[in-house]
A = this chain, B = another copy of it.
Amino acid sequence: MNLTILGCHAATPKISAHPTAQVLEIKGHVFLIDCGEGTQIQLRKYKVKFSRIKHIFISHLHGDHFFGLPGLISTFHLQGRETEMHIYGPKGIKEAILLLLKLGKSWTKFQLYFHELESNLAQVIYEDDKLTVETIPLIHRVYTNGYLFKEKPGERKLNIDAAREANIDLSYFNKIKMGHDAPNKEGVYIPNAQITFNPSPPKSYAYCSDTAYNPEMVSQITDTTVLYHEATFLKTHQELAEKTKHSTAIEAANIAKAANVSTLILGHYSGRYGNLELFKKEANEVFDNVLLAEDGKTFTF
CB distance from A72 to the nearest CB of B (A): 9
Q: In the assembled complex, which residues on chain B have CB atoms less than 8 Å from the CB atom of A75?
A: 11-13
Check if A146 is an interface residue, CB within 8 A of chain B.
no
Check if A104 is an interface residue, CB within 8 A of chain B.
yes
CB distance from A95 to the nearest CB of B (A): 7
Interface residues in chain A, defined as those with a beta carbon under 8 Å from any beta carbon in chain B? 11-15, 37-38, 40-41, 44-45, 60-64, 67-68, 70-71, 74-75, 78-79, 90, 92-93, 95-96, 99-100, 103-106, 141-142
Given contacts A11-B75, A12-B75, A67-B74, 20 further A-B contacts (CB under 8 A): A11-B78, A12-B74, A15-B44, A37-B38, A37-B41, A38-B41, A60-B104, A61-B104, A62-B104, A62-B106, A63-B70, A63-B74, A63-B104, A63-B106, A67-B67, A67-B71, A90-B103, A95-B99, A96-B99, A99-B99
Q: Contact at B15–A63, with CB atoms within 8 Å?
A: no
Q: In the assembled complex, which residues on chain B have CB atoms less than 8 Å from the CB atom of A40?
A: 12-13, 37
* Complex Cα gap A67–B90 (Å): 20
* Complex Cα gap A38–B64 (Å): 12
